[in-house]
A and B are shown apart, each in its own frame.
Chain A
Amino acid sequence: MRPFTYERATSAEDALTRHDGETYYLGGGTNLVDLMRLGVETPARLVDVAHLPYDEIQLTPDGGLLIGAAMSNSALAADRTVREGHPMLAQAVLAGASGQIRNMATVGGNLLQRTRCSYFQDTAKPCNKRDPGTGCPAREGEHHNLAILGHSEACVATQPSDMAVALSALDASVHVLGRAGERTIPMDEFHRLPDNEPERDTVLEPGDLVTAVEVPPLGMPSRYRKVRERASFAFALVSIAAALDVREGAVRDVRLALGGVAHKPWRAWRAEEALRGRPATRESFLRAAEAELDAAEPLRDNAYKVPLARNLIVRTLTELAERAEAAEPGEGTTS
C-alpha cells in the first residue's frame, strides 16, 4: 500500500476543500481498504468523512426518508421506519455482505463500491476499468457472474451493491455536495453504463461528496430477493427489487430493478411499462420479463442469467400479487 496522509473532515465543506487529485473519501473502508491493499486504489490522501453528522434518517415532508450517507448499513436496516415503510430496502441491505461489514460500511460507501470482477481486482492483468485502454480480458475469459445487459466492448463488469438495486426501484435520489454546490441525482442516473469510459462507475465529479439518499414514500408491498450459490455472504448472481400495487386484479403500479446483470442497478422500465394496467397474472409477469430481457446480450458463460432473471421477475411479482390478494379479500380475485 502506498503511504498516504489521513485527515478527518470536520464538515462536508471542509472535506471538499481537502480534496485534491489523489484524494479519496473514507467511509467505513470496507471496500476502499480492500482495494488499497490489492493495489487497485492508490490514494495519496484519505479524508475521513465517516464522522460527519450524516448518520441518521430524517423524515421528509412528503413522508419519504432522507438517509444520511454516513449511516451504517446495519443501522439503516434496523430502522423501524425503513422496515415498515420500505421493507425492500432493509432486505436489500441485509442481503449484502456480513453482519460485521454492515456494521462498518456506510450508506454512501455502499453506493460507491466497485465491481468484484476478478480482472479488475488483479493489478497484474489488463482492465479498462482499472487501467483505461488496456483491454477487457473478461469478455473472452471468466465472466460467469458478469453483465448480460448494457455492457460494452470495453467492460462487462457488474455493479455489486444490493442496496443500490433497491434504491433504484424506489426512485431514490442521491444528494451530493460538489464544487458547484448541492445537487440531487436520480438513482437511475447515478450509476453509469460502461460505454467507452468504464473507469467511471457513476456520474460523480472529482471532489463530489454524497451526503444523503432521499427515498420517496412507497405505499405498496415490496420485496428484495437475491440469488446466490452460497446461502449467505456472497454477491448476487441475480437479484431483484420489486414492488407491486394491485387493485381489483390489475397492476396499478409496479417497480422493478435487477442486480447482478449490469454495470448499474438495472431498472426494468420496459417491464414496468408492459405491466401497468395489465392483469396481475403470471402470464403478464412473464410477458413483461421477456420484454425487459429482449435486450439481454449474454456472454459465452453467463446465459443462465437470462432465464434466472426472467424466473425471478415472475416469481417475485407472483408472490407480491398473492400477498396483495390475501390483504384484500373483499376485492375479488384475479384469474
Chain B
Amino acid sequence: MDSESTPVHADITLVVNGREHRLSVDTRASLLDVLREDLGLTGSKKGCDHGQCGACTILIGGRRANGCLALAVAHDGADIVTVEGLARDGRLSPVQEAFIEQDAFQCGYCTPGQLCSATGMLDEAGQGWPSTVTGDLGSEPVLDDDEIRERMSGNLCRCGAYVGIVAALREASRRKEAAEA
C-alpha cells in the first residue's frame, strides 16, 4: 500500500450551535458529513453532495453556505449554526413558526436547508444586499415576493412547497421588521 492512499487526518475545532467540538477529521470530509456522521447532527441533509440542491445549507459565521462543499478541515475554528440551533430554549424561531403556519414543506427533507437559508437570507436582505431581480442596484432592495423567490432559489424543493415557503418568508420578514421597528 502506498502512502498516498492513506487517509490524512487533521485536528480541528468547530463551534456548532454554541457548543465546542474538538475533532480529528479526514481532510476529505465535508462539514456536512462531519455534522451528520461524527456529531450526530442529522438535521442538515444531503440531497446532492454537489451544491446543487441546498438541502445541506447551514450558517457558517452567520452566513448561509452549502455544508457539502465546505471541507471540514478548511473550517477549523468556525462558528456554525444548523437547523438544530435555530430554536432557542425550545422556542421556535419566527421562520420555523411561519413554515408550520404556511405548510411550507411536505416531505421535510429540504426543510432544514430552507430554514437555515431563509435565516441567512433575511439577514442579507436586512443589510441591503441586492439580488439579480433588484431593479436599481443603487437603491435599498425591498424584500417583495420576487426578491424572496430569487434569493431562495438555491434551495430546491421537489414536493413543490415554494408557494408556502414564499408566504412563510413574507410573514417572517414582516414580523422581523415589526420587531425591529
- Give chain A's interface residues, CB within 8 Å of chain B: 1-6, 8, 26, 28-30, 33-34, 36-38, 44, 46, 48, 50, 74, 77-78, 83-84, 87, 90-91, 94-95, 97-101, 103-104, 226, 231-233
- Give chain B's interface residues, CB within 8 Å of chain A: 4-8, 10, 26-28, 30, 49-51, 54, 57, 63-66, 69-71, 73-74, 117, 120-121, 124, 127-132, 134, 137-138, 149-156
Chain A residues within an 8 Å CB radius of B156: 233
Q: In the complex the two chains form, is A83's CB within 8 Å of B130's CB?
A: yes
Q: In the complex the two chains form, is B64's CB within 8 Å of A103's CB?
A: yes
Q: In the complex the two chains form, is A94's CB within 8 Å of B154's CB?
A: no
Give 5 nearest A-B pairs by CB, closest first. A98-B154, A232-B153, A83-B137, A94-B132, A78-B129
Chain A residues within an 8 Å CB radius of B130: 77-78, 83, 90, 94
Q: In the complex the two chains form, is B71's CB within 8 Å of A74's CB?
A: no
A100 is contacted by which of B131, B134, B154 (Cβ under 8 Å)?
A: B154
Q: In the complex the two chains form, is A2's CB within 8 Å of B4's CB?
A: yes
CB of A57 to closest CB in B, whole Å: 15
Separation of A6 and B26 alpha carbons in the complex (Å): 10
B154 is contacted by which of A4, A83, A233 (Cβ under 8 Å)?
A: A233
Q: In the complex the two chains form, is B154's CB within 8 Å of A99's CB?
A: yes
CB of A145 to closest CB in B, whole Å: 16
Q: In the complex the two chains form, is B27's CB within 8 Å of A99's CB?
A: no
Give the nearest-CB partner of A121 in chain B. B50
Q: In the complex the two chains form, is A50's CB within 8 Å of B132's CB?
A: no
CB of B95 to closest CB in A, whole Å: 15
Chain A residues within an 8 Å CB radius of B149: 231-232
Chain A residues within an 8 Å CB radius of B153: 98, 231-233
Chain B residues within an 8 Å CB radius of A78: 124, 127-130
Q: In the complex the two chains form, is B51's CB within 8 Å of A34's CB?
A: yes
